[in-house]
Amino acid sequence: MKNQILRGLFVLATLFFFILCPYGCFAQYAKKERPRVIATTDGEIDDQCSMVRFLLYSNEFDVAGIILSSSQYHWRGHDWAGDNWLDGYVDAYEKVYSNLVQHDENYPAPEYLRSVTFVGNVTAEGEMDSVTQGSQHIVNVLLDTMDDRPIWLQAWGGPNTIARALKTIEEQYPDRMEEVAKKIRLFMIWEQDSTYQAYIRPHWGKYNILTIISDQFEAIAYRWKKIVPEECQSYLEAEWIEKHILKGHGPLCSLYHVHEKNDGDYKKGDFLSEGDSPSFLHNIITGLRNMEHPDWGGWGGRYVRVYENVFIDPVPEIGYKYPNGRWYANTAWGCTMLGKGFTSFNNQMVRDYYKSIWRWIPAIQNDFAARADWCVKSYDEANHPPVVKVDSPINIVAEPGDVINLSAKKSYDPDGNELSFYWWQYKEADSYEGEIEIKGKKASVAKIFIPKDVEAGETIHVICEATDNGNPPLTRYQRIVITVKN
């Protein structure tokens, strides 16, 4: 009886960990509630490419704002796309909106998107002295007592407009800082100005805000040819882009930028860059559960805790010490390695470093192609992602030597397409360093054999991956996390 009680307490403790984990995870994502997001962008050409994809995925989010900001590369008067460049993208979105809502009624109305689009702090790199329409909108969202849901603040450029908003709250509502901090999840594409280190971290760090800072984004940015393995590159080449995005997919997709001419290894029409897309790819609920823990990994990359509640790219170099300050072009490991001439093709560490994103490129791009189809095709003519259902808890407690039976027979495809399955161990996310045996890897039912050398508390991540046979083929997942006890 004593052993049964202890086992029950262990199970309850494990479930409590998954519901109230220290990384800022939240249970609503298991219930498919759309994440709230505010995107801040400096309007670089790759931001414009990311904006096409963002709008095509806006049904997956509760979009609370789109804010024009600046960065170390772009500000008003310096390589600036203009204060109104977002207007053209929302106008193009409006022209395909009536078709998009045939595929999902959650696409936001163009009028709504216009109502939450503002110009923020854009007059100079890192400028955060001025209260702007964009910064004040972020303030209003964060102070809204009618909605206490978490909100992802995405910094596609510098975080200066976000910093200005937080400074306003500190100055005017200091007694609400802790309350506001509990809402915030921050995802930055590099630190493209100094305001995170100079203001946000010293003034708000004590509140342990979940923060992700990405260097892995380069896998789908300008230097992708040096990073993406050859087996994935066809999804980024001119023939694929023209067929699936640019040609015959309506005015929004026609705004998508590609290489305008042959340039070294890049051909005319090749993928240009979407360096900012990981910030919202992270927020698409695919079944990988990456929003629960940044170090679990998903379409937006995989990250490890480096200091406080700040997650940065996992560097594969033994003995590497992360800088205490900014993680950006001058310091980020991958960027500096590329600058020294190391690539995925001459250095295994570089290949491993960027794998957290490039491994998903076929699935990400096929999904993008389906969204492009939604702009011009009826529901019956287009493809839609499958729904993966595993007939077991998604958090399992097991003992060494156990055999776990998992079934995905209840999975289905909304278009009636056939599904193929693949079960695999996401070793990079495991705390167990060994390899497990999986029988039935390509069937709807699999057996998971827990090794006998697993120590108490170690975890094993098993991914059920289901892909339909539609055109293009679409993939979704279910992650099962197995925690081992002795």
CA distance 2 to 363: 48
Q: What does the domain layout of the chain look like in residue ranges?
A: 34-382, 386-484
Contact between residue 372 and residue 253 where contact means Cβ atoms under 8 Å apart: yes
Q: Say yes or no to pLDDT of 454 above 80.
A: yes
Sign of CA dihedral 285, 289, 291, 297: negative
Distance of CA 286 to the CA centre of its chain: 10
pLDDT in tens, 206-254: 999 999 999 999 999 999 999 999 999 999 999 999 999 999 999 999 9
Q: Say yes or no to pLDDT of 312 above 60.
A: yes
Angle at 89 between CA 87 and CA 90, to 5 degrees: 65
Q: How confident is the model at residue 32 (pLDDT cuts 50, 70, 90)?
A: low
What's the chain's average pLDDT?
94
Task: Give mean pLDDT, residues 191-199.
Answer: 98
pLDDT in tens, 296-308: 999 999 999 999 9
Q: Which residues touch 255 (CB under 8 Å, ≥6 apart)?
A: 48, 52, 88, 89, 92
* Two domains, one topology: 34-382 and 386-484: no
DSSP-based helix, strand, coil % in the chain, nearest 5: 35, 20, 45
H-state helical runs in 105-176: 110-115, 133-143, 160-172
Is the model's pTM score more than 0.85?
yes
Q: How confident is the model at residue 486 (pLDDT cuts 50, 70, 90)?
A: confident
From 478, 105, 85, select the one nearest 285 (Cα to Cα).
478
| Preceding amide of 316 cis, omega within 30 | no
Q: Say yes or no to pLDDT of 444 above 80.
A: yes
Q: Does domain 34-382 have CATH number 3.90.245.10?
A: yes
Provide the CATH number for the domain formed by 386-484 in this structure. Answer: 2.60.40.10
pLDDT in tens, 256-272: 999 999 999 999 999 99
pLDDT of residue 181: 98
